[in-house]
Structure 1
């Protein structure tokens, strides 16, 4: 009981101090109106620490350990090299705030193997800094292998973003299972981030009971409405997602199979999906603001009509699309860029 809402009455905070902290620390490097020890103490409910943080470290091995009930993110290696996780467990309750299991940020040469993650937020997440600070640091998260892991609950099973301003590249994900997550494979960013996400290879993924999308790539992260505004020029603040290859995905139960939503000034580019099956899906495939998307042997069971919606997209190739029953209109295409 209790708690407070923000001015828009969209977000609930457990205390007035946590709300004040959220407003004051929008840019944590330059907090507004927080100078004295008393002022910092007032917002302490917002300043929940990560459980285990490595910074600029090399040759790290986490093996056979269980981490539970982190105040905020659980594991946060930052700017590390040769980082290995093998046979660990991360367990956070579903109701905790920002309880990410593993946030690998601006790390190089990482192995995430044979582990179980049960999180209330993103489970296995790759990041590289936020907005101007991340671009200034300029350290991509790169050369990462994620293999044979299980995720039980979480906002996303495997996630890139939204803080990816230094870039994410050269990533291989294979043999992972996601059970009861909000989204299975989740790529997210927004205007202002900048950075390039590229050369991502994902293969042999199993999902069960996904609440929302089996696969999503959304460059309007945390945007609740989409007003008609002039298309901005491409600059250093424009995020880029390209050269992403996904194959051999089986999902048993999802609200929607696939959701792609790029930016008009920077569509999603060169996305390849092969051998993907989604059963018990309420909705099919949505593609908006994308270029050069190739889908081969995609099967979606029982979506509402239309099975595929394409808007503002070019170079879309869909081969071997299959439904298990008549879903009415298969393709809905709109807007002049298709």
Structure 2
């Protein structure tokens, strides 16, 4: 049988970055091995009809059950041809590729009354926006290995409007479903697909390792609530690159659990790389937090272009959060038209209940922000630590923001210790070094 090879098509002709040399582009290659699958089935083989009216939930579930039971050597490809395939939620299985052809759309039904429920995540203790459980994700992989979602820039459409309206009207009974979620899974690759109108967060790998998200486009209206782009959560060895995101909340947000539940579960997010991301959002371009109770460390963000932003780079936590945020490097970022260029704050985010420990202060240290440019930035930065837990070793280096003259000050800082080099406008006094002993001076 002919080997079915997975093409690497770029959804949009993104410049790698104004900062990146054409012949010096790093990639996620190696985190998830490339898989070639010889066994291929089509959703139409199982009764799938792409007319935008027929509900294909049974077809998707039966096709994936076949892949799970037969266990072909190397796994199987589930091919979705051009057409609009309306379906309820379904689960993926190990050793499979979900392949969306050019013109293929997997579209979520809008029948929220029959949407199945799932238990709350243990590191959150409850649904993220409502007490109790949560609605199951539209496409879910739980405990799976070696799974690919890819294609020829087909679309996964969550039809989130009905969910957004329930949120606005305060009629939600449980937390809204994610568009794509992987739990307790390894070796996951997502590429060359458009994700559109998610009910809640778009791509959510939680308790996972070795995850690659690349060459994707994520779209939702700017006023769509909580439509985060990619949220690695208590996960390790994750790479997000070469993608375009325009949505209603943080474009990329790294998390690791919520207050006492995240502290008890104690699974950090670590070894996360985010590079060559372009997009816009009324919230943050790159965020860490605010749920970081399991800890976040060893994060590299580079070559990012942001426009029409709320905040360019946002590191956020809160009193009672616990955990740590450390060894974070953000470099080569261009921001245009934002309320704030940089925000690092210890007073952001709510609490799941009254059981959190108010003395569980987070540790925020060893944060390097360098080679960042911006124009039409209303405020260069706000760095607000915690009174009894100041943020330490904060380095600002080679940062230049054009800040129009306003009534406010370009930088605000409290409870922070660090240093700076070549920063314009000049940062607050807590970050100005008078000698070569500051944290910035010891960076490579």
Same fold, TM-score > 0.5, yes or no: yes
The answer to whether structure 1 residue 157 and structure 2 residue 285 are counterparts is yes
> What displacement does 1:253 show?
1.2
**Which residue in 2 is equivalent to 1:217?**
344
For structure 1, list consecutive stretches of 5 or more residues without a partner in the other structure: 1-25, 35-41, 224-232, 301-306, 320-338
State the SS of the aligned residue for 2:335.
Answer: strand
Q: Distance in 1 between matches of 2:127 and 2:178?
A: 17
> What displacement does 1:49 show?
0.9
> What displacement does 1:101 show?
1.0
Pick aligned residue for 2:401 from 265, 271, 278: 278
Which consecutive segments of 4 or more residues in structure 1 shift more than 4 A? 29-34, 307-310
Q: Distance in 2 between matches of 1:185 and 1:217?
A: 8
**Which residue in 2 is equivalent to 1:326?**
none
Q: Which has the larger radius of gyration?
A: 2
Structure-2 change in CA distance of 1:69 and 1:32 (3 Å): closer
Structure-2 change in CA distance of 1:271 and 1:309 (3 Å): closer
For structure 2, list consecutive stretches of 5 or more residues without a partner in the other structure: 1-123, 134-169, 351-356, 436-444
Structure-2 change in CA distance of 1:294 and 1:51 (3 Å): same
Contact conserved, 1:126 with 1:159, CA < 8 A, in 2?
yes
Q: Distance in 1 between matches of 2:379 and 2:317?
A: 20
CA RMSD, 1 decimal: 2.5
Contact conserved, 1:234 with 1:265, CA < 8 A, in 2?
no
State the SS of the aligned residue for 2:260.
Answer: helix
Q: If the length of structure 1 is used for normalisation, what is the TM-score? A: 0.74
Q: Distance in 1 between matches of 2:364 and 2:180?
A: 30
**Which residue in 2 is equivalent to 1:295?**
420
Relative to total residues, which structure has the larger strand share, 1 or 2? 1
The answer to whether structure 1 residue 28 and structure 2 residue 28 are counterparts is no
Pick aligned residue for 1:317 from 433, 441, 444: 433
The answer to whether structure 1 residue 196 and structure 2 residue 324 are counterparts is yes
> What displacement does 1:45 show?
5.8
- Residues 258-316 of structure 1, C-alpha deviations (whole Å, 9 max, x = no match): 1110011001100011000001344411111112x11110112xxxxxx6555xx5x74
**Which residue in 1 is equivalent to 2:334?**
206
Structure-2 change in CA distance of 1:65 and 1:32 (3 Å): closer
- Residues 31-60 of structure 1, C-alpha deviations (whole Å, 9 max, x = no match): 7699xxxxxxx9546532111110011000
Q: If the length of structure 2 is used for normalisation, what is the TM-score? A: 0.56
Structure-2 change in CA distance of 1:254 and 1:44 (3 Å): same
Equivalent residue pairs, number: 266
- Residues 61-116 of structure 1, C-alpha deviations (whole Å, 9 max, x = no match): 00101000001111111011000011001101111111111111011001101001
